[in-house]
Structure 1
Amino acid sequence: MTAHPHPVDHELVRAAANVARTRCRGDNHTMAAAGRSRDGLIVTAVNAYHFTGGPCAEQVLIGAAAAQGVYELDTIVAVGDRDRGVVPPCGRCRQVLLDYFPALKVVVGAGERIRTVRVTDLLPESYVWADHQLGAEEGGVLPQ
């Protein structure tokens, strides 16, 4: 098996799994996410399922992190309820995560194949959010 350049943050996976096991109940909350800030803080969140397209756990995590003063995430993982284990981000989340945190690492895979990859590896040849890039170049923040 090939060695991966980014070690798996097992503490982060356990944090997401614990939230999935203890906080995901019924059909409204079926996924949990955990993110680690650059200074080591772990933030957790659950999805808010709704037929109109309620946000995934990864997107709720972005807001929950900001509410706690965390604006730079280093690593993220999502875990499904009912012991489904690590679940990779959907396409929309991959794009959002890339736009917010271009250097983000994401835990993916299952069992012996669990690994950490860069978000850019999950979304090669990605769309570039021009307004976001312009704001970043000028030292600005994300558009409201």
Structure 2
Amino acid sequence: MTAPPLDPDAALRLDHQLCFALYSASLAMTRLYQPLLNALGLTYPQYLVLLALWEQDDVTVSVLGDRLGLDSGTLTPLLKRLEAAGRLQRVRDAADERRVRVRLTADGRALKARAQHIPGCVLAASGCSIGDVGTLTRQIRHLRERLLAGA
């Protein structure tokens, strides 16, 4: 991969780094979510797991990991904590004992109603319109895809 010529001094300025802009925005987003999720007894990664399961319940651990971009070493402890909290259950697949399926419990499904306000809170804090947030989300998703393809 060949990069265009850059002014070396400008290229190394912190405020010119895409990685720092994404990193610092991610930290700010996590800080915004923290009190919202604390009220639900969730961490941010646990919330992401539940979001994925609210979209599609009863999936294998590998499907869930692919959806979230997490390996099993990261995902398994999250699932164990959510299972211990009564939010989901992990069961061996009847058709293939090597696979583990993840299913929401009644408590995990009910938590969705308690989380309904979170996207609106995040939208309000962003100061962006719904359209702007959608555009930004698509741009970041495309960036991620390009970065993964180039890695």
How high is the TM-score relative to the length of structure 2?
0.27
Larger radius of gyration: 2
Identify the structure with bigger relative contact order (alpha carbons < 8 Å, sequence gap 6+). 1
* Structure with the larger helix share: 2
* Structure with the larger strand share: 1
How high is the TM-score relative to the length of structure 1?
0.28
